[in-house]
Chains A and B, each alone.
Chain A
Amino acid sequence: AQKVTQAQTEISVVEKEDVTLDCVYETRDTTYYLFWYKQPPSGELVFLIRRNSFDEQNEISGRYSWNFQKSTSSFNFTITASQVVDSAVYFCALSEDYSSASKIIFGSGTRLSIRP
């Protein structure tokens, strides 16, 4: 069965702290995509990253970095030197089919609050 688990329901840190959001997934497929989306208080879903199952290289984009570990079925997201604008709900997601028009399965989200 396909499943995405984000065990951390809410995280609150002080600005400038580093924070890691955990994501664990389950899938029977050997080929799949993993995603992170951000949902700020305004409600829209903002695409952050896509990673395919064959690429285990970690990725860094500014203050954001992602750690994909196939051995533990995890795809964790770290924000370095957090800022108040990072406050949002973050969703990890999985797409099992490598083709297009494939549904995305979302985790339940982690609400991140950055305190000034």
Chain B
Amino acid sequence: EPEVTQTPSHQVTQMGQEVILRCVPISNHLYFYWYRQILGQKVEFLVSFYNNEISEKSEIFDDQFSVERPDGSNFTLKIRSTKLEDSAMYFCASEGLAENIQYFGAGTRLSVL
């Protein structure tokens, strides 16, 4: 069964460092998303991406965040200068055309020290 793959499963970084979280969406999917979940809290939308550009972003997704689809398979989330409060589980999701179902990856746990 096709699935969304995220790497790494756990990333530890120092405050102020740049991190890149990687996602391989389901093949043939066209819409891509990043969400985050601070420990013990609800899942929050960060950004959606379609046709090589951002479709929508939340207030959380400030100038420190960027997304990219550098090739035909990867979808990345970059945090330029991490803060302690960026520590969370980051989920990637993808969606097929006219499907309206987002399939999530297993997440990357980001720990900022």
Give the B-binding residues of A (Cβ under 8 A): 33, 35, 37, 42-47, 50, 52, 91, 93, 95, 98, 100-109
Of the residues A33, A45, A100, contact of B30 by C-beta under 8 Å: A100
Bound complex: CA A87 to CA B91 (Å): 21
Contact at B42–A109, with CB atoms within 8 Å? Answer: yes
Dominant secondary structure at the B interface: strand
Residues of B within 8 A of A106 (CB): 42-44
Known A43-B106, A47-B103; judge A101-B42 contact (CB<8 A).
no
Bound complex: CA A46 to CA B93 (Å): 11
Of the residues B35, B104, B109, contact of A47 by C-beta under 8 Å: B104
Contact at B101–A101, with CB atoms within 8 Å? Answer: no
CB distance from B25 to the nearest CB of A (A): 13
The 20 listed contacts between A and B (C-beta, < 8 Å) are A33-B100, A35-B101, A42-B106, A43-B89, A43-B106, A44-B104, A45-B107, A47-B103, A47-B104, A91-B43, A100-B100, A101-B31, A101-B48, A101-B56, A103-B56, A103-B58, A104-B35, A105-B45, A106-B42, A107-B42
